[in-house]
């Protein structure tokens, strides 16, 4: 299993050095890209046993209605877009770390998984996806978050 991490593209931004990209190919490149864009890069854990994968993603402040999860062939895609919230008219921003923007992450499975029976739930800002293993590939579908 492997994953791709995408945020809004950075026009003209250099890619991370080959040394860092080779040491930690997915996480470092994604972090450097996200840092250049001020985008979110939710911490993600992928766990597995003989029968399933469990993917947990930190998404504090993101409502489940703003998350779209699609499954197609051997790929599960999580997308969210958050619009920048306007502050009070009397306050000016002095410093900002909390950003808005687009986030997308794809999880590719090397073995057959049952995309018909993927479950998703969000609790306390953590999205948890359960992906059953060892079943024939299925048609594309959208997953509902409980």
Tell me the mean pLDDT in the region 116-121. 93
Structure confidence by residue, pLDDT tens digits, 3-19:
665 544 434 444 444 44
Structural domain contains residue 63: yes
Structural domain contains residue 26: no
Residue 94's pLDDT is: 86
* Dist. CA 136–CA 146, nearest whole Å: 25
Dmax over CA atoms of the chain, in Å, equals 58
* Dist. CA 104–CA 19, nearest whole Å: 25
Structural domain contains residue 3: no
Residue 1's pLDDT is: 64
Structural domain contains residue 4: no
Structural domain contains residue 21: no
Q: Name the domain count of the chain.
A: 1
- Which residue range is the domain that position 87 belongs to? 42-143
What is residue 85's DSSP assignment?
A: P
Residue 85's pLDDT is: 65
Structure confidence by residue, pLDDT tens digits, 35-81:
544 455 678 999 999 899 999 999 888 889 999 999 988 899 999 88
Structural domain contains residue 82: yes
What is residue 65's DSSP assignment?
A: G
Structural domain contains residue 33: no
Closest CA to 110 of 74, 70, 146, 67: 74
């Amino acid at each position: 299993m492997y994953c791709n991490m995408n945020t809004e593209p950075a026009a003209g931004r250099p890619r991370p050095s080959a040394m860092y990209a080779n040491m930690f190919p997915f996480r470092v490149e994604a972090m450097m890209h996200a840092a250049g864009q001020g985008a979110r890069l939710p911490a993600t854990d992928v766990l597995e046993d003989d029968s399933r994968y469990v993917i947990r993603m930190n998404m504090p402040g993101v409502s489940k209605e703003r998350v779209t999860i699609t499954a197609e062939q051997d790929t599960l895609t999580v997308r969210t877009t958050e619009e920048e919230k306007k502050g009070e008219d009397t306050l000016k921003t002095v410093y900002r770390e909390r950003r808005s923007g687009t986030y997308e992450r794809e999880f590719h499975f090397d073995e057959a998984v049952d995309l018909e029976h993927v479950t998703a739930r969000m609790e306390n800002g953590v999205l948890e996806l359960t992906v059953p293993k060892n079943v024939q590939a299925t048609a594309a579908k959208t997953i509902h978050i409980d």
